[in-house]
Amino acid sequence: MLDDKNLLAQRDPGNTRTSAVAVTTQTDFAAEVESPAIPGEVTSVVLAGMGGSALAADMVKVLTADQIMVPLEVTKGYQLPNFVNEKTLVIAISHSGNTEETMSCYQQARERGCQLAVMATGGKLFAAAEADNVPRVRVPSGGQPRMSTIYHLRGLLKLLSQFEVIDDSLYHAVAASGVWLKDQLSQWAEEVPTADNYAKQLALKLIGSTQVFYAGELTWPLAYKWKISFNESAKNVAFWNQYPEFSHNEFIGWSSHPVDKPYKVVDFRSSLERSRIRERMELTDRLLSGMRPKAEVVELQGETLLEQLLWGLALGEIVSIYAGILNGVNPEPVALVEQLKKELS
């Protein structure tokens, strides 16, 4: 079915499958900071955003953990943490620039005298930043937030280095990964037949059930990303969790579920995680044999954590689009989300 070009075009008229493969062009995005500020003392960082717009913030949290010297928190909601003050750097992220929760955080940051920056394609948030002379990065518009993560990642890394919270090595590393990532993604394009196409094979394995994604301490943003993509592109309910926390509670929850329950389990395994994470995943699969579907293992490719996250990010986008096509839905629109926003406005 996924090798039928007519069917692909019929069910994906917006051609999101090609856009997903072309995501590597985002690695060259030259993020420019408008109205750059003179960096002051930063004792904490808060990245505020929602949904797909906040995914890059989650990635930044794990990618910078070995070099950032101040606490970094990702806030997904209306309210900034109480500790936020004039020595806190708050970066408000909204792809559309009109996310009301992020606008709320922006206003609170202004009221508390925080060091502040904005990243958006435009909208009310970007306009407010222009009017307030707040440092800002404009990211390219046109795509869904979940398909613009590398743009967001480049923008966030640029802003964090501009405020001297981190150096610019990760920003440049994203660009350097572009050629390698393009080669990887070419193997998942629609022209590649299912027999040789890992993304199509995964989509076929995962449809028809509720997907549950698991990853480790370093790679958990991928489990969350795949959940988002299956929600929006495949129009599936999906769930995620991370190890080792899984071992302390959810592990038991599976013990009363017959194996024929409608779930598909995916474990993301990384050569860079602690060996105990892999051991926990393997032992879990063995101990839950007969009680939980056997996990589909995705071995993350890449020599660095950045490469593995980008590889998994891109694969998840493409797999979820193929899954949407198999589900008989258009992968691109998120009409109910737009209706919800409209009725809330």
d(CA 218, CA 308): 10
pTM over 0.85: yes
Residue 338 belongs to some domain of the structure: no
State the pLDDT at residue 258. Answer: 63
Determine if residue 15 is left, alpha or beta; phi over 0 gives left, psi from -120 to 50 gives alpha, anything else beta: left
Residue 102 belongs to some domain of the structure: yes
Residue 42 belongs to some domain of the structure: yes
Structural domain for 50, as ranges: 31-176
Residue 231 belongs to some domain of the structure: yes
250 and 167 part of one domain: no
d(CA 183, CA 342): 40
64 and 147 part of one domain: yes
248 and 316 part of one domain: yes
Beta strand 210-215 with 238-242 is: parallel
Domain holding 218: CATH number? Answer: 3.40.50.10490
State the pLDDT at residue 267. Answer: 98
State the pLDDT at residue 208. Answer: 93
Query: Helix crossing, 149-162 with 55-63: angle to 10°?
Result: 50
214 and 167 part of one domain: no
State the pLDDT at residue 340. Answer: 83
d(CA 340, CA 70): 37
Positions of the chain with pLDDT under 50: none
147 and 186 part of one domain: no
pLDDT digits (tens, 9 = 90+) for 5-60: 999 999 999 999 998 998 999 999 999 999 998 889 999 999 999 998 899 999 99
- Residues in the chain, how many? 345
Residue 165 belongs to some domain of the structure: yes
Residue 23 belongs to some domain of the structure: no
